[in-house]
Structure 1
Amino acid sequence: MKLIYYKSQQGNIGDDLNVWLWKKIFGDDFFNKNEEVAFLGIGSILLENSDYLKEASKFKKKIIFGSGVRSINEKFHFDDSWEFFFTRGPFSSLKTTYVSENYITDSAYFLALTQEYKKFINQPKKYNISYIPYYASVDKVDWKVICDELGWNLILPTGNNVEKFIAQVAASEMIISEAMHGAIIADILRIPWKRSRYYSHIFEGEMVSEFKWNDWLYSIDVFENNYINCIKKPKKLKHKIVNSGYYNKKNQNRILATLKKHERIPFNLSSDTRFNEIVKDLKLKKNKLIDTYLQ
């Protein structure tokens, strides 16, 4: 079985979860079986004419297991060789299967089915608030300086160390995250979270970023897409040429001032009822895949 996912050289927690998580759920030999099957799990990897779909099309059977559509403008033509176990959210479901009900949530929620989950949720709290930047935002400003000033813990989504990342989230009382999977993992660990926005919507594009977040939020019955607006402003030409350091310092000061007022935006957490429904549905999908492909 071929795992198809986005690979970032510096690491990106949401995508890196694929390598760590699926072996925990289906066993170490999961990807050594069914060589004619492609498996698409965590990530916004459903986009037309992409390398992901082209790679998957080489296989006799393709499994969609919680993947998300990248934006509302995508157009797809899937034949019977594509099996949609479930998509990330209702909007991904509608774009791929033409009905809005074929979703559960982001498949990172399978973390709740791992043996390690109990250890994570019982981990003692060490940090009041932890902040998680988007992986492409990490080098844009000095997040360590900002977090130190606020008295917050900084968790980087890069580095390719999934268990360390989850453990740091688990050790936090609250999470503020620009990275969507930072918020997702917090929700799985039943830790209140809120979204910030700085550079991700510039890097991905406004339409892509908001589609992804709303797709996931609706899947967990959170219908208000509120966020702390730390928007990165375009660098003026004179700062590019004369003093980039001045620009970065000014940018950091603006972010710091905005984050100090984070209380204006409420924390979120999916309801226990919805979370338990998700876990129940994921167990059913897990058993169905095992019965179909791993017996």
Structure 2
Amino acid sequence: MFGPATPSADGFLGVGTLIGRPFPEVSRIHVFSSGVGYDPIAAVHPSNHYWCVRGPLSARVLNLPTDRAIIDGGILAPERLGIGRASASAKPVVVPHWQSMLVGGWDEACNLAGFSLIDPMQPPEKVIGAIASAPLVMTESLHGAIIADVLRIPWIAFVTTGNVPLFKWFDWTASVRTPLRIVPVRPPSPRALALFGRPKLGTVNRAVEVGEDQAFDHFMKGINIASSRQQRGAGAVARGLLARLGERIDGVTPQGTALALQKLASSAAPQLSPPGVVEERRASLLDRLEELRAAHATGDLAAA
């Protein structure tokens, strides 16, 4: 994956929560700005080289030196695509997690709320371009917050189901010296609850500040997407029935989500990392990238 000068046994992991996934086709992986979050790390190969990881929690899990924790490489995307902050439109934007988006109900919820919906599965230039003109970004997608923060657009983190990656959210917010505040919001479809369960995170429509130990335990106990899939089993049918009942009792409808999003926009405190932090992290990331490029150019990747 590095090109013809690289031994075929070498692979590369970049942006994403990819550490721990099996890649049997390579014997050694070079990790650059990726993170831990979805997969167990017991099978991580000891010969892997970590040029940098997304944040301090990933470094902690992998027992890496603190200087390996830099930031998510997604911060480079707007610059690489030539997209800067545009004149703000009147409408705040909503960025669901991609799995939430697949379940449905978001088009209706955002139309009712008067907000613009961004499908996170669109090409990066479309997603980033839409975020660039927003006055406010309400996001269930981590990269929605990352891009907003790079462009200095205030953002609010929310979650609708138990499919909440607290670990990777905290990993990034800690890297930019920002507390993680996240607001539980009811999803627009009861199917989301049937698939992923409830967030079990504070009270609906009230911001919760998540600490490092809570985020770390969330990963170590296996409360993440991968483990929840394994644990659903026969209980999924029962949860589906409860979710449909919840449509009447809990307001799990597009209308309910629209009201929650309006409340979020009007009363939740938006966040931004402190001035200068992203630029500092970007400089460190680019320095590490130059080290990687130099090793590749001289054929020293195998010795890295």
Q: Which bin holds the TM-score, normalised by the shorter protein?
A: 0.7 to 0.9
Partner of 1:46: 19
In 1, are the aligned partners of 2:71 and 2:285 still within 8 Å (CA)? no
Shift of 1:41: 0.8
| Equivalent residues of 1:177, 1:193 under 8 A apart | yes
Q: Is the 8 A contact 1:63 1:84 kept in 2?
A: yes
- 2 CA distance for matches of 1:76 and 1:255? 40
Q: Deviations over 1:215-235 (max 9, x none)?
A: 111011112x21221144645
**Aligned equivalents of 2:54 and 2:93: distance in 1?**
25
1:292 aligns with 2:295: yes
Which of 74, 80, 86 in structure 2 is aligned with 1:108? 74
Judge conservation of contact 2:112–2:255 (CA < 8 Å) in 1: no
Give the match's secondary structure for 1:128. Answer: coil
The change in CA–CA distance for 1:237 and 1:254 in structure 2 (over 3 A counts) is: farther
Deviation sequence 1:145-188 (CA, Å, 0-9, x none): 211222211100113x1111111111211111111111111112
1:127-166 to 2 correspondence within 5 Å?
127-159=90-122, 161-166=123-128
Q: Secondary structure of the residue that 1:39 maps to in structure 2?
A: strand
1:283 to 255, 263, 286: 286
Q: Which residue of 2 aligns with 1:14?
A: none
Alpha-carbon shift at residue 31 of structure 1 (Å): 4.5
Q: How many angstroms does 1:77 deviate by? A: 5.3
Q: Provide the rounded CA distance (Å) in 1 between the counterparts of 2:69 and 2:176.
A: 11
Secondary structure of the equivalent of 1:131?
strand
Give CA deviations for 1:233-269 in whole Å, capped at 9, x if unaligned: 645969859x89x669842232122212113321111
Residue of 255, 258, 264 corresponding to 1:256: 258
TM-superposition CA deviations, 1:10-69 (whole Å, max 9, x none): xxxxxxxxxxxxxxxxxxxx655524321101111112xx324x34xx23x421101111
SS at match of 2:281: helix
Q: Deviations over 1:59-85 (max 9, x none)?
A: 3x4211011111696436542x32211
Alignment of 1:131-280 (within 5 A): 131-159=94-122, 161-199=123-161, 201-202=162-163, 206=164, 209-223=165-179, 225-232=180-187, 234=193, 250-262=252-264, 263-280=266-283
1:291–1:152: structure 2 CA closer, same or farther, 3 Å change rule?
Answer: same
* In the alignment, structure 1 residue 88 sits paired with structure 2 residue 60: no
Q: Distance in 1 between matches of 2:32 and 2:240?
A: 46
Task: Supply the AA of the counterpart residue of 1:253.
Answer: Q
Aligned letter for 2:263? K
Structure 2: gaps of 5 or more residues: 195-236, 299-304
Q: Alpha-carbon deviation of 1:212?
A: 1.1
- Deviation, 1:103, is 0.8
The one of 20, 25, 33 aligned to 1:66: 33
Q: Which residue of 1 aligns with 2:217?
A: none
| Shift in alpha-carbon separation, 1:193–1:31, aligned structure 2, 3 A | farther
- Structure 2 counterpart of 1:157, which letter? P
Q: Per-residue deviation at 1:271?
A: 1.9
Q: Aligned residue pairs: how many?
A: 248
**1:113–1:279 Cα contact (<8 Å) kept:** no
In 2, Cα distance between the equivalents of 1:164 and 1:39?
A: 26
Question: Where does residue 6 of structure 2 map in the other structure?
Answer: 34
Unaligned residue ranges in structure 1 (runs of 5+): 2-29
**For residues 287 and 82 of structure 1, do their structure 2 counterparts lie closer, same or farther at Cα, with a shift above 3 Å needed?**
same
Cα shift at 1:128: 3.0
Indicate the RMSD between aligned Cα atoms, in angstroms. Answer: 3.0
Question: Any conservation in 2 of the 1:127–1:152 contact (CA below 8 Å)?
Answer: no
